[in-house]
Amino acid sequence: MTGRRDWFSIFNQSHKNEVKFANDSTLNSEGVGVVCIRSKNGEQSFVNDVLYIPGMKCNLLSIGQLIEKNYMIAIEDGIMKLMGSNRKLILKAPMSKNRTFKIELNVMNHKCSATAVERDEWTWHYRFGHLNFRDLNMMYSKNMVSGLNMMYSKNMCQVNSLNMNHKVL
């Protein structure tokens, strides 16, 4: 969960729900999406299903949800380690004075350089996570998506710092 809307590389604002915290307070999420982070060794990972909650002052990562996705958590000598199913270390964090684990994330900036996002073809391009126009046209020709029209654009979309060799969290 984060209160930073600018961190999302893909965002679905139709996914809204109420989140209840341990102290019985609640906040409303205004959408869900994907945030891309870069590790200290330069590798990129995508954190999926991140809730956007306007007004949140800190970001929260659910250990329970990570375990459900087959990640491993180890806490020893005041250090929390998150490992993938291959036991490769993904991140580690020391326990803070308030008994939480503060993780410093290098969130990557993802912005489509297409300037005409309000135009229909760029809207569909963005909705499908910057899908190329050839595949958008294939989906149009096979009537796979309602409301999708034939696409054409001479402009190039470049998503800053996006490398297709990524991991999904």
- More confident call, 155 vs 159: 155
**Residue 15 falls inside a structural domain:** no
Q: What is the span of the domain harbouring residue 82?
A: 70-103
Query: What is the average per-residue pLDDT within 134-162?
Result: 67
CA distance 42 to 19: 33
Per-residue confidence band for 21, with pLDDT thresholds at 50, 70 and 90: confident
Q: For the chain, give the mean pLDDT.
A: 77
Per-residue confidence band for 160, with pLDDT thresholds at 50, 70 and 90: very low
Q: What per-residue confidence (pLDDT) applies to 88? A: 83
Q: What per-residue confidence (pLDDT) applies to 32? A: 92
Provide the 8-state DSSP code for 152. -
Per-residue confidence band for 111, with pLDDT thresholds at 50, 70 and 90: low
**Residue 90 falls inside a structural domain:** yes
Burial class (CB in 10 A: 0-12, 13-18, 19+), 72: middle
Q: What per-residue confidence (pLDDT) applies to 115? A: 40
How far lies 28's CA from each of 7, 31, 55, in Å?
18, 9, 10
Per-residue pLDDT tens digits for 39-91:
666 777 778 889 999 988 888 888 888 888 888 999 999 999 988 888 888 78
**Residue 133 falls inside a structural domain:** yes
Tell whether 87 and 126 lie within a shared domain. Answer: no
**Residue 9 falls inside a structural domain:** no
Tell whether 125 and 99 lie within a shared domain. Answer: no
Query: What is the average per-residue pLDDT within 25-39?
Result: 86
Number of domains in the chain: 2
**Residue 49 falls inside a structural domain:** no
How far lies 35's CA from each of 47, 86, 109, 110, in Å?
5, 22, 9, 9
**Percent of the chain residues past pLDDT 90, beyond the cut:** 15
Per-residue confidence band for 109, with pLDDT thresholds at 50, 70 and 90: low
